[in-house]
Amino acid sequence: MSIPTSPSEQWTEQTKQGTKFLYDWLSRREHSCLELQKKLAEKGIDKAIHKTLIEHFIAQGYQSDRRYMEMIIRAKANKGYGPNHIKQLLKQQQVDISDFNALVLENEINWFDIGYRTFCKKFGEQVSNDFKTKQKQQAYMIKKGFSFDCIKSIWSELS
């Protein structure tokens, strides 16, 4: 590979490298725009180039934050995480979560069932009568991203 001597040659070389990286990463799994920007920056691709490349990949349908969000929702729900945890994760990736509830409905995700399984896996099918233990159970479920209403529903189901 020759060393670029002019800015346009450098642009072309970085564009080729960036395109190769994007195809490689997106062929393995979905990525958010922010993830791709960070990865391209780590590879030394100019910010203007990676912005253009990512816009092109979005226009071609190769990258979609909606598909990324759907993948994260399914993966995290399968691991026992609740909606609050997942939304926070998506916000950190600067993903627009306006379609969150629609994707949950499309994927037929039942937060109560996921919360119930998560609770039973950690604590068994017994709700403690001890105040401190109950607080620990509640703190665990909140950390996993479940709402107070969901936790109360799980407790009433187990009682």
- Residue 53 shares a structural domain with residue 32: yes
Asked if residue 2 is part of any domain, the answer here is no
Tens digits of residue pLDDT in 133-147: 999 999 999 999 999
| Residue 124 CB neighbours (<10 A) | 10
Q: Which helix (H) or strand (E) holds 115?
A: helix 111-123
pLDDT at 109: 93
User: How confident is the model over 16-71, as pLDDT tens digits?
Assistant: 899 999 999 999 999 999 999 999 999 999 888 888 999 999 999 999 999 999 99
Look at residue 148 and tell me if it is in a domain.
yes
* Cβ–Cβ under 8 Å, residues 157 and 116: yes
Provide the residue range defining the domain that includes 134. 111-158
Kindly report the CATH number assigned to the domain that includes residue 142: 1.10.10
Q: In this structure, what are the phi and psi dihedrals at residue 93, rounded to the nearest 5 degrees?
A: -90, 5
pLDDT at 79 over 70: yes
Assess whether 121 and 150 both reside in one domain: yes
Instruction: Confirm whether 1 is domain-assigned.
Output: no
In a shared domain, residues 70 and 118: no
The number of domains in the chain is 3
pLDDT at 7 over 70: no
What pTM was estimated for this model as a whole? Answer: 0.84
Residue 79 in any domain: the answer is yes
Instruction: Please state, in angstroms and rounded to a whole number, the distance separating the CA atoms of residues 47 and 41.
Output: 7
pLDDT exceeds cutoff 50 at 4: no
Q: Does 30 reside within a domain?
A: yes
